[in-house]
């Protein structure tokens, strides 16, 4: 073994493959009993590999401009070719999101692990990195403590979301002590807590469809779910970064109608009807949407003011849900602490990739593609003489 990868998620496995193809003898250590647990969990409802869109548009959805060369090297089309190279045919949905035909991550992962094994990559599970001991890396293993001092090391340790699957950010103090700059982790692609009144309880679990979410200049068509804890789902995740950072959130409950049309339809409704019945009959609002209006819009205005409220209903929330529940995280190793090849300036011979770097992206294939791209980039540079 002359190359070590710590972390067997997508970024780490991609780095291991790059190292092995360059002729290095590679060991991958993984703290959990099996590899790529977050990858497999993400694929339970359909593994979204990437987004089939122009590379320039794709790169703009990643928060770190310095990653653009990596995404140009391994972007959406390369991800599609990579999956097909592992025997997994893919298809693009109406939104451009790309999925394996099987919709699952496990067949792709099995094929990938088999290919890595064929390249001589050794995977050691239940090997938990515990920091540094002098110039060596220390591990807790099933056989007891162990030290390793490879010629090059790629760290693919994940961020701080979903700690039960391995991304627990336990590595932060060890790298910080070595002089690596690290931005504090924050939740990304997360829901928001809401202290609901009792009348919302019958709507817990109800999806809210056909709305637009407004966060400053950002407007996203999507849907979300009312839960006992708050609001969550794809539409919320799309605006979550801006809202987390202090932008007010509002809902356009009737995104296909303008204020004038909403006002006109309300005016034609029977005056004797209750407000809830007017919203249902005149505008077709379902009970869960009406409940949200009553929750966040009272005291309800009349006429055009009510129409404006329905087009920009303020969302009163209590902040992001905890990072342990977030799909991903923002923060991590600062760009200033890295060379162009993702080598840690404070630790020559040690490279970093994946979600442990300081970047964020929306759901929709952006996260996985960026992890693969940075893993490949770090692995190739770690393999260089």
Instruction: List, in sequence order, every residue forming a beta bridge with 140; answer none if it has no partner.
Output: 128, 145
Q: What is the pLDDT of residue 273?
A: 80
pLDDT at 88 over 80: yes
pLDDT at 94 over 90: no
Rounded mean pLDDT of the chain? 96
Q: What is the CATH number of domain 3-187+323-383?
A: 3.50.50.60
Q: How confident is the model at residue 262 (pLDDT cuts 50, 70, 90)?
A: very high
Q: What is the mean pLDDT of residues 24-44?
A: 94
pLDDT at 385 over 90: no
CB contact set of 145 (below 8 Å; sequence gap of 6+): 138, 139
pLDDT at 270 over 90: no
Quick check: 64 and 82 in contact, CB under 8 A?
A: no
Q: What is the pLDDT of residue 42?
A: 83
Distance CA 144, CA 296 (A): 57
Q: What is the pLDDT of residue 238?
A: 95
Q: What is the pLDDT of residue 43?
A: 77
Quick check: 20 and 14 in contact, CB under 8 A?
A: no
pLDDT at 381 over 90: yes
**Of all residues in the chain, what percent carry a pLDDT higher than 90?**
94
Question: What beta strand segments (E) does 286-352 contain?
Answer: 313-314, 328-333, 350-352
Q: What is the pLDDT of residue 99?
A: 97
Q: How confident is the model at residue 345 (pLDDT cuts 50, 70, 90)?
A: very high
pLDDT in tens, 180-205: 999 999 999 999 999 999 999 999 99
Higher pLDDT, residue 45 or 65: 65
Quick check: 382 and 257 in contact, CB under 8 A?
A: no
pTM (2 d.p.): 0.93
pLDDT in tens, 142-178: 999 999 999 999 999 999 999 999 999 999 999 999 9
Q: What is the mean pLDDT of residues 18-34?
A: 98
Q: Where are the domains of the chain?
A: 3-187+323-383, 192-314
The region of weakest confidence among 53-62, 175-184, 266-275 is 266-275
Q: What is the mean pLDDT of residues 349-361?
A: 98
* Cα–Cα distances in angstroms (integers) from residue 61 to residues 69, 79, 164, 248, 354, in the given order: 14, 16, 28, 21, 16
Q: What is the pLDDT of residue 269?
A: 82
């Amino acid at each position: 073994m002359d190359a070590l990868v710590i972390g067997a998620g997508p970024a780490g496995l991609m780095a291991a493959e790059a190292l092995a193809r360059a002729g290095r003898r590679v060991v991958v250590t993984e703290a959990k009993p099996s590899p790529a647990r977050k990858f497999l969990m993400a694929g339970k409802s359909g593994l979204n590999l990437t987004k089939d869109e122009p590379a320039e548009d794709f790169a703009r959805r990643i928060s770190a401009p310095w990653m653009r060369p990596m995404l140009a090297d391994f972007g959406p089309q390369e991800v599609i070719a990579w999956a097909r190279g592992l025997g997994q045919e893919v298809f693009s949905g109406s939104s451009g999101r790309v999925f394996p035909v099987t919709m699952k991550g496990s067949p792709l992962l099995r094929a990938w692990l088999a290919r890595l094994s064929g390249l001589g990559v050794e995977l050691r599970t239940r090997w938990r990195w515990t920091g540094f001991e002098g110039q060596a890396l220390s591990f807790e293993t099933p056989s007891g403590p162990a030290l390793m001092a490879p010629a090059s090391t790629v760290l693919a340790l994940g961020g701080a979301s979903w700690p039960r699957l391995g991304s627990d950010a336990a590595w932060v103090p060890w790298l910080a002590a070595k002089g690596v700059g690290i931005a504090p982790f924050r939740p990304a692609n997360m829901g928001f807590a809401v202290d609901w009144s009792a009348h919302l309880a019958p709507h817990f679990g109800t999806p809210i469809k056909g709305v637009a979410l407004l966060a400053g200049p950002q407007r996203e068509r999507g849907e979300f779910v009312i839960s006992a804890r708050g609001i969550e789902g794809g539409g919320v995740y799309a605006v979550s970064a801006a809202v987390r950072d202090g932008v007010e959130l509002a809902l356009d409950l009737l995104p296909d109608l303008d204020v004038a049309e909403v006002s006109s339809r309300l005016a034609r409704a029977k005056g004797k009807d209750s407000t809830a019945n007017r919203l249902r009959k005149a505008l077709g609002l379902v009970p869960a949407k009406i409940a949200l209006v009553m929750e966040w819009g009272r005291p309800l205005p009349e006429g055009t003011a009510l129409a404006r409220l329905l087009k920009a209903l303020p969302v009163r929330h209590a902040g992001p849900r905890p990072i342990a529940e977030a799909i991903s995280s923002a923060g991590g190793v600062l760009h200033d602490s890295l060379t162009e090849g993702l080598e840690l300036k404070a630790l020559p011979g040690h490279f970093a990739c994946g979600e442990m770097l300081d970047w964020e992206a929306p759901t929709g294939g952006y996260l996985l593609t960026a992890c693969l791209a940075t893993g490949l980039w770090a692995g190739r540079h770690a393999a260089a003489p």
